[in-house]
Amino acid sequence: MADTGVQARKSAVYLLDQILGEEPPLMSELLASGVLDKLPPDDRARAQRLALETLRGIERADRLLQKYLKTYPPLTIRNVLRVGTIELCQGGAAHGVVNAMVNLVSGHRTLSHLKGLTNAVLRKVATDGPEAWNALRAPRLPKWLRGPLTEAWGADAMAAMEAAHFAGAPLDLTARRDPTALADIVGGVVLANGSVRIKDAGQVSTMPGFTEGDWWVQDAAAAFPVQVLAPQKGEVVLDLCAAPGGKTMQLASLGAQVTAVDASASRMARVKENLARVHLPAKTRVQDARDVTGEFDAILLDAPCSATGTIRRHPDLPYAKDGSEFGDLIELQAELIDHAWSLLKPGGRLVFCTCSLLPDEGEVQVDEALERHDDMSTDVAALNVPGVNPSWHTIEGGLRLRPDYWAEHGGMDGFYIVCLRKAG
């Protein structure tokens, strides 16, 4: 079965059934539950890739399929057809793709009677689909999210970001030591900020240097907050909302005395595993960030947010959320900023960041924090780190990153980053 690719495709369809069903989970939650653990590494990577590519292109796939479907079949069959359409329109061999999807349906306990429909529709897609595919627009975000983002950044920027989402994301690594040497080993390129980018990565755990702890996965945009904080060797640094630990490892690798805090025991367990793999020291606490006490030279607050900046890597997000929780997140961010400020030594600095494209979780949040705290100011000079374009600076003194930036290199996650300095 593995030789025909049926098992990987079957697993991809299962992931889609969950994500596009009622009360959908995030892809990360599904994977953490172990649904793909029994697959060989190659099939596991292929299943994830097929599911993610289908989510990115689902609007195009559905536009093509509606020409051949009089009525909508059950969700599982729709997902079989979507996966098959994506593969066919991206250059998959028609015979192999169609046969694999028909075999998948033939083996289904209750839907095997639809194997004829599957065969007929996918054969039509194989004939007409590839040419029609490229004529379709880049898939759009759902209206509940597209509306506020278009209002914030304009129609042209929204179209550019949607194109970046559709293109997907390469794999970025942060090297524990020398990024140039790492790039040579893994076949990547070093970006302007020192991240190592790989365009066609397979299963991460089988890559050179993983077991040895030579690197960790971290989108290039996510590496900027620590670079802006610029911790000095021996500084006492607090990393709030630290999981999964990429920034914690960055801080520790620069010689800071790091205390990493996260409210989730399971996520903090992952931070500990990551620290052990890369052989870096840090204190870890399972604790609500608002309950932390002490005094610190510098603080990194990567606050809980909508994660709307990560859609190019997590195309499941628009299906798992509807925006209803954003108000509570914005209130929580303000609470976290105020509490973190109370833990900072005079003259210290707080880097606040969110992987969000919504100004309410970035620019507006900082504008309001500056009004609440007379001893707070933005340190614009701290933003001048390698790779930052001055045009990314914002009026209130922060840094706005978007998925369409570095488009020639494959884009980056959307982020907001600011360095706040406490009066001495």
What are the catalytic residues?
A: 355
Question: Where are the alpha helices (H) located in 202-259, listed in sequence order?
Answer: 220-229, 246-253
- For the packed helices 41-56 and 75-89, what is the interaxial angle rounded to 10 degrees? 90
Beta strands in 125-194 (DSSP E): 171-175, 189-190
Surface-to-core class of residue 186, CB atoms within 10 Å of its CB (0-12 exposed, 13-18 middle, 19+ buried): buried
The position carrying tokens 């790989």 is 198
Sign (positive/negative) of CA torsion 164, 170, 173, 179? negative
Do 414 and 356 touch, CB atoms closer than 8 A? yes
Question: Cα(106)–Cα(406) distance, rounded to whole angstroms?
Answer: 45
C-alpha distances out from residue 412 to 59, 161, 302, Å: 22, 10, 17
Which of 291, 242, 286 has its CA nearest to residue 264? 286
* Contact indicator for 124, 152 with CB cutoff of 8 Å: no
Sign of CA dihedral 216, 220, 221, 224: positive
Phi, psi at 280, each rounded to 5°: -125, 140
